[in-house]
Amino acid sequence: MAVNEGGVPPILAQKHYAQPSAFTPENLLREARRQKRIIDAGIPNICILDPDGDIVRSLLARGEARLEAGWACYHTQLYSFSRDGIEFGIVGCAVGASYAVLIAEELFASGCKLLISVTSSGQIVPTRPPPYFIIIERALRDEGTSYHYMAPSDYSDADAGLIAALDGAFGGFPVPVLTGATWTTDAPFRETQPAIDAMVKRNLMAVEMEAAALYAFAQVRQKPVLCFAHVTNQMGRVDGDFEKGEADGSHDALQLIAIAADRLRSRLP
């Protein structure tokens, strides 16, 4: 099997990190607005990525979410809703690193000022029985998207200021909220036991599919992004797994998001 670029795999070759992007979200959205006859309009300052879609489905079932007609993305729908006096935008089912970052690019190009991701994740280090949440401080880069934004390294790190701003925020929260590192993978059905054992040695608390890429994007684009892992399962290795809580975990996730947003909105540009 031939390997190009003197032994460097294609995902690491021809990455000119200091060069601007030729294809930009602003231009894509411009053409989408033209084709769809959408008036250029703003979106809520604080937006949410809901990879599982449970939060969006719960909001829609209760009649609490409104479709944002000004959202010009080709691939998704953006809904808005209010919680504790804060207006949010939310995109459901943006699962996986490449999809999540594509949507993040478009959200910030459309006026988003803070992005919060809450993704379902599998337990690696058996800290406690699921479900619980993790504020992701850093994520192991075992996916592809981050390498298009940032030179190779083991981890993508969260903005330290965002993490510090949440100190003590969840003291009275009914579900445990921990802080730590996760493993971001592109292939959840290729989590082998030797790989899991290696991640335990690294003290990675859970496995998910977006955080490493979102944090690389955030660092390079200088955008505020915060990722939570909702540890809901043990990768199906026990009976009765994947129980998230009330309304498929959306009740707790919305409460978590509202608390985080209240703490972080003072830091918005």
Confidence of residue 233 (pLDDT cuts 50, 70, 90): confident
How confident is the prediction for the chain on average, in pLDDT? 92
pLDDT (mean) for 89-94 = 97
Report percent pLDDT > 90 for the chain: 86
Digit-coded pLDDT (tens) for 236-265: 455 554 566 554 678 999 999 999 999 999
8: pLDDT strictly greater than 90: no
What pTM value is reported for the model?
0.94
157: pLDDT strictly greater than 60: yes
Instruction: Report pLDDT for 244.
Output: 66
How many whole angstroms separate alpha carbon 70 and alpha carbon 39?
6
Assign 3-class secondary structure to 176-243.
CEEEEEEEEECCHHHCCHHHHHHHHHCCCCEEECCHHHHHHHHHHHCCCEEEEEEEEECCCCCCCCCC
pLDDT (mean) for 190-216 = 96
Q: What is the CA radius of gyration of the chain?
A: 18
